[in-house]
């Protein structure tokens, strides 16, 4: 059954009070892998779905990053998406692999120690699109954060000349296959999102331009959705310290208020 955990392997954790696991779960019948972090407590905690950016080994979730979010009081699950770290299938860049995010959210929803009505989504870069698709698919999601997130796949093709070879191989060109790009653009499905959305974006982002954030903000406001924006004038794709750490604390506090 999709969203079912079929293997959970304990790994050494860099944090003495947070457990780390290497998880195998089902998505579209495929065995997909991911990391799970659990603070050591008897209390039920909110769930945090960490949706990575990039593709294949580029943008793979870092354990230290997941621990950082889990230390704020969340059970965190970070899927690698299909075809990675020994998982079955092949990524198709916010195509069918969006189901790996949706089913990963079901993993959290089924987790015995997760508060069912306090599951939050976090998407970074390409993961922003995955988060928006997941929020549009699952009505129980409490909040969604898009940090330097992709909202328009055709815009990504236009801006990222270095990604065009990969995108042509995985998707095709926007000229020849406009429907494939429309399908991968979450702006076309945001009408189904029920939860508040927080947009975090560096104005000088060189990988996912601020235009993605502006378009998402305008789209959500046009539909009467609850949206908040934190735009940082001086920052690029990766925020420097201590601003990165401060933003992590602030966004998790925002989630808990929703």
Catalytic center residues: 125, 237
Q: In sequence order, what are the residues at sequence separation of 6 or more whose Cβ sits closer than 8 angstroms to the Cβ of residue 241?
A: none
Write out the DSSP string of 122-174: EEETHHHHHHHHHHHH-TT--EEEEES----HHHHHHH-GGGHHHHHHHT--T
CA distance 219 to 3: 30
Cα Rg, the chain, nearest whole Å: 17
Cα–Cα distance, 88 to 105 (Å, whole number)? 18
Residue 200, both tokens: 């975090």
Strand pairing of 143-147 and 114-124? parallel
Q: Left, alpha or beta for 251 (phi > 0: left; psi -120 to 50: alpha)?
A: alpha
> In a 10 Å sphere around its CB, with 0-12 CB exposed, 13-18 middle and 19+ buried, how is residue 160 labelled?
middle
Residues 119, 142: Cα–Cα separation, whole Å: 6
């Amino acid at each position: 059954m999709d969203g079912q955990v079929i293997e959970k392997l304990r790994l050494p954790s860099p944090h003495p009070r947070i457990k780390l696991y290497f998880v195998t779960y089902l998505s579209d019948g495929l065995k997909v892998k991911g990391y799970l972090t659990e603070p050591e407590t008897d209390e039920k905690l909110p769930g945090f779905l960490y949706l990575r950016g990039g593709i294949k080994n580029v943008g793979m979730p870092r354990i230290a990053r997941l621990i950082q979010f889990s230390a704020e009081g969340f059970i965190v699950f970070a899927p690698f998406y299909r075809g990675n770290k020994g998982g079955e299938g092949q990524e198709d860049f916010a195509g069918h692999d969006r189901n790996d995010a949706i089913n990963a959210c079901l993993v959290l929803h089924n987790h015995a120690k997760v508060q069912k009505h306090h599951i939050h989504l976090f998407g970074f870069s390409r993961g922003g699109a995955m988060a928006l698709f997941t929020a549009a698919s699952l009505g129980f999601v409490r909040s969604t954060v898009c940090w330097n997130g992709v909202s328009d796949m055709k815009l990504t093709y236009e801006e990222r000349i270095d990604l065009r070879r990969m995108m042509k191989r995985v998707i095709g060109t926007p000229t020849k296959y406009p429907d494939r790009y429309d399908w991968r653009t979450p702006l076309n499905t945001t009408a189904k999102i029920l939860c508040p959305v927080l947009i975090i974006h560096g104005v000088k982002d060189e990988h996912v331009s601020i235009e993605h954030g502006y378009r998402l903000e305008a789209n959500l406001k046009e539909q009467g959705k609850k949206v908040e924006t934190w735009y940082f004038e001086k920052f690029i794709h990766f925020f420097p310290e201590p601003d990165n750490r401060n933003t992590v604390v602030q966004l998790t506090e925002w989630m808990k208020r929703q």
